[in-house]
Structures are given as structure tokens and as C-alpha cells.
Amino acid sequence: MSTLSVAPDPVAWRVDAAPIPYPEALAEMDRRAAAIRAGSEPELVWLLEHPPLYTAGTSARPADLAADPGLPVFDAGRGGQFTYHGPGQRIAYVLLDLKRRGGDVRGFVRSLEGWAIAALADCGVVGERREGRVGIWVDRGPYPPDGRREDKIAAIGVRIRHWVTFHGLSINVDCDLSHYAGIVPCGISDARYGVTSLAALGRAERLPALDDALRRHFAASFPEPG
């Protein structure tokens, strides 16, 4: 079951309760992006989950995938490397007309980051950017002898075609973190850097609470052109 609503701005919101197969999601993004470009349908934020699977971005390295990963692997067509998707993880596919919004690709990625950080703050988690490491990170304290342990809680991967954005971000709420053992997440193998979730951090928030936070902060993160 899914719901589709139109907010006061031109962006529609779709929320799916049941996990969506990855090929189906890719096909729907392709269809919707073409409609956005043609002006026949509004921009879209699509909140969903996938069944357990891995996706490979355009920079994925075969060595970063286990010999027997145990889950299906799909080419995503987005930037980035390998990542995991599964139940208990909120995926936010953001399909916007970037040309209408000024054509700033880097600015769009910064907006995705800021949006995730603001939503996580509403859930009691301090998420931060890190230079040279894509995604949103949580400081977990000292890492001997003189470093810091940091875990990724949100992954970001985008694609832009004819100035329409695809894909977006994923935030770990209460997913099975053991599945990350089948890949080197986003190509980062340094032992100081792991993966976490709201549940692993002791936060009781569930998907609806995060969805509410994402809705609250969307307009400020992606303002309409003046």
C-alpha cells in the first residue's frame, strides 16, 4: 500500500508501506523523471524500503563485494560504490527539476546532507559531514591511540539526467547491520569507520517518526526558487 500526496509546494510525496523490489523502483524513477522533465507530473519525494539487497554505484570495485555476498546485487546507475538496502532503513528518493532550481549539482548534494542532518537531530542524533567521506557520520568516541571512531548512519548517492535528480539518501533506522559484512560499504575499509543505526544508538524512533522529521525539514533544505 502506498500513499501519494501533494504538499503546498509543487513537490509530491509518496510513502510505501511494503518493501519495493529494486528493479521496480528503478523503472518508476525512470518513468517519473521523464514526466518531470516533460512537465506532466510534479517533482517527487519517495519514501520507501527495499528487500535485503546490495547496490553497486558507478565507482563500485569488485574487490569490495564478498565472494558469496548472500544477497542479490543490482547495478544502481547512481554515483558511489557498494551499499546495502533492506527493511528498517528509510530510503528517500528525491526527484527534482534541478534546472528549475538553479542547476547547482554540488548544492543539491549539500542540501541532501543538510536535510538528513536536520532530520536526525529531531531524532536525537548528531549527524555530521566529513571531508573526503560521503554520507552522514556519528562520532562514537576515541579510537586508540589518537583517532576517533565514527560510524555512518546515512548514505548518499545521486544521479542526474537531463537536469532531473534520481536516487537520494538512505538512513538506517532499525535495519540488520550484519548485512554490511557482505560489502565494503562505500569503499571505506578503515577500521575506525563503521556503520550504525538509530536503534544501535539507543534511539527508539521508527520510520514514521523519521518520515515526519524529513517532511518538516524539506522546504528549508530544498527551497523553491524565488
Assess whether pLDDT exceeds 70 at residue 7: no
How far is residue 8 from each of residues 13, 173, 209, 215, 219, measured CA to CA in Å? 11, 28, 21, 12, 10
Per-residue model confidence as pLDDT tens digits over 99-143: 999 999 999 999 999 999 999 999 999 999 999 899 999 999 999
pLDDT bracket for residue 226 (50, 70, 90): confident
- pLDDT, tens only, 8-54: 458 999 999 999 999 999 999 999 999 999 999 999 999 999 999 99
What local confidence, expressed as pLDDT, does residue 188 receive?
Answer: 83
Query: Exactly one of 96, 186, 195, 214 is catalytic; which is it?
Result: 186
Residue 4 above 60 pLDDT? Answer: no
Extended strands (E) in 35-179: 44-48, 53-56, 73-75, 82-85, 89-95, 128-130, 133-143, 147-161, 164-172
**Is 186 an active-site residue?**
yes
CATH of domain 2-221: 3.30.930.10
- pLDDT 10s digits, 49-93: 999 999 999 999 999 999 999 999 999 999 889 999 999 999 999
Give residue 186's pLDDT.
Answer: 80
